Structure 1
Amino acid sequence: MPVELVEPVEPVASVTPEPAPEPEPRPRRRRGRTTLLIAGAAVLGVVAGTCTGYVVQAGRAPTKLPSLSQPALAQAKGPAPEPLSAAQDRRVRTDGDLRKLLLKKPAGARYDGALTGNDGWMDLADYAETFDKPGSVFGELISSEYRRAAVTGWDVGSTYGVEIRLIQYRQEETMDASVDSKDQQYWKDLKAGTDSWPIPGTGDGMVYVHSRPEHKPGYLPQYNAEAVAWRGDILLEIYVWDITKPVPKAKVMDVAKRQMERL
């Protein structure tokens, strides 16, 4: 069988598509130009407005100021009102003789001469000496506007006694009576074996009874109870002691309530 000759066909070269041209990068945007222009225009507007205001104000006639002297007021007819009594104004009582506000000793008791020997007054140095660190307390009392203090105390027999102090502050800047009351209450609460109760009608006044006796060289063990409260510019401190047994709560509470009623 005849064989048909076929002309050889040249292989067609594979055509690779040319890559698309990359887009030209956009120019980077200059940020802030428009913002700066707006801000600059706003500043110029404010400056222009201020200058205009000064110009307008300068062209106006000066405003006449009111006279410093006021017309005298006619006094009301009738007698002048009498000042408030001590019963109506407690400041009248506290600005007077502070010692008169202290409780009197009960029948059968005798005044403690060590407390009342200075005519019932306690100066700044004497009061500072009642603290453990009188030197530092002296400066603190000056800063606290210490004004004066009245003190009294009495003994019942040889086993029981009471001391009452009224400390008055000037209080021209702060309520120092209240501040010192809270400070003392904080430290009294830290004593071991201490029970405390609020004094009725005093807001935050407190009574403290220490069930553990205090020991000092050369002295018999002593049980103590205390009370701290304040009213207006006066800080109240009460100390009750007994060398035979713990001081009953009722005893120190009674002294505290009766003393606060006099303030």
Structure 2
Amino acid sequence: METPEAPPEAPPATRRRRRTPALIAGAAVLGVVAGGCVGYLVQADRAPTALPSLSQPSLAQAEGAGPEPLSAAQDRKVKTDGDLRKLLLRKPAGARKPLIEVANDGWMDLAAYAEEFQSPDNAFRRLAREDELRRVAVVDWREGSTYTAEIRLVQYRETERGTQAADDAGAGNDNAQPPDDHTTDAWPIPGTGDGMAYVHHKPDTTYGVGVYSAEAHAWRGDIAMEIWIYDTKPIPKAKVMDLAKRQMEQL
């Protein structure tokens, strides 16, 4: 009797945006054609992860002058365990509400974030179990009719293996890898180690209007930064690099 073959293992979650770029590109086209058309993105109505208390227990001091405790501004752990949305860059003056909102009150839940991957079901399981995703804070805005910027701070729980943030922003992440077609320029983000910014010169013409994109990926501690920019005009290097450097300074 033949031994039945074992079912194939599920492929690893591919870290490449799947849904939002198409919707933003479509919204950009609507902005060109109809001006004020508003897109939509269905979001699961979940509350963000409850935040831990910012208060620190009092510690008994040994005799003699000991070191002064770190202030909240100096203690990065206190800073990143607070309201993560406060670490996001502020929207530029005059910026408008994006045609498509990808978050609920500045938060994107696990189900919505998993929808950004090519295999959402597999991504959901991996993010929840192996990668220990904790929360995702988002700020996005629109300038003019078609320029859209989105910044995400993706925070992971610390485990014995460390955190997933470095892998999320590093060489193992398909998001952080430019296509091998010589249409993308890449530059390191100063002060971030292996952080990289990319400008894609080949527009997406799926929707009848060319939509250009740029992105940036870096990490610090347990937080991975993602920046996504879309426009119907070529996006200059200075635009994405400025956002990336200023956002990383906030961390």
Same fold at TM > 0.5 = yes
Q: What's the CA shift string for 1:210-248, capped at 9, x where partnerless?
A: 00011334x6321000000000000000001111x2110
> Of residues 191, 201, 205 in structure 2, which corresponds to 1:215?
205
Residue in 2 that maps onto 1:206: 196
CA 1:226–1:187 in 2, change beyond 3 Å: closer, same or farther?
Answer: closer
Residue in 1 that maps onto 2:32: none
Structural RMSD (CA): 2.3
How many residues are paired up?
Answer: 188
The 5 A counterparts of 1:145-156 are 145-156=132-143
Indicate if the aligned counterparts of 1:122 and 1:148 stay in contact, CA closer than 8 A.
yes
Larger radius of gyration: 1
Indicate if the aligned counterparts of 2:103 and 2:138 stay in contact, CA closer than 8 A.
no
Q: What's the CA shift string for 1:132-191, capped at 9, x where partnerless?
A: 221111111121000001001000011211000000000212231001212225763235
* Bigger share in helix: 1
Residue in 2 that maps onto 1:89: 75
Q: What's the CA shift string for 1:6-41, capped at 9, x where partnerless?
A: xxxxxxxxxxxxxxxxxxxxxxxxxxxxxxxxxxxx
Indicate if the aligned counterparts of 1:110 and 1:154 stay in contact, CA closer than 8 A.
yes
Residue in 2 that maps onto 1:235: 224
SS state at 2:106 partner: coil
Indicate if the aligned counterparts of 1:185 and 1:206 stay in contact, CA closer than 8 A.
no
SS state at 2:166 partner: helix
More relative contact order, 1 or 2 (CA 8 Å, 6+ apart) = 2
Q: Percentage identity across aligned positions?
A: 59
**Pair 1:157-2:144 in alignment:** yes
Residue in 1 that maps onto 2:243: 255
**Pair 1:170-2:157 in alignment:** yes
SS state at 2:177 partner: helix
Residue in 1 that maps onto 2:101: 115
**d(CA) in 2 for partners of 1:224, 1:168:** 24
CA 1:117–1:203 in 2, change beyond 3 Å: closer, same or farther?
Answer: closer
Residue in 2 that maps onto 1:15: none
**d(CA) in 2 for partners of 1:223, 1:146:** 30
SS state at 2:122 partner: helix
Instruction: Specify the code of the residue in structure 2 equivalent to 1:202.
Output: T
Q: Give structure 1 stretches of 5+ with no counterpart.
A: 1-73
User: TM (normalized to structure 1)?
Assistant: 0.66
Higher mean alpha-carbon deviation, 186-195 vs 205-214, is at 186-195
Indicate if the aligned counterparts of 1:109 and 1:155 stay in contact, CA closer than 8 A.
yes
Q: What's the CA shift string for 1:192-214, capped at 9, x where partnerless?
A: 31110000000000000000011
**d(CA) in 1 for partners of 2:225, 2:115:** 17
CA 1:119–1:80 in 2, change beyond 3 Å: closer, same or farther?
Answer: farther
Instruction: Specify the code of the residue in structure 2 equivalent to 1:148.
Output: R
Instruction: Specify the code of the residue in structure 2 equivalent to 1:212.
Output: K
Indicate if the aligned counterparts of 2:217 and 2:224 stay in contact, CA closer than 8 A.
yes
Instruction: Specify the code of the residue in structure 2 equivalent to 1:205.
Output: G
**d(CA) in 2 for partners of 1:130, 1:116:** 10
**d(CA) in 1 for partners of 2:109, 2:180:** 28
Indicate if the aligned counterparts of 1:115 and 1:152 stay in contact, CA closer than 8 A.
no
**d(CA) in 2 for partners of 1:134, 1:226:** 21
CA 1:122–1:152 in 2, change beyond 3 Å: closer, same or farther?
Answer: same
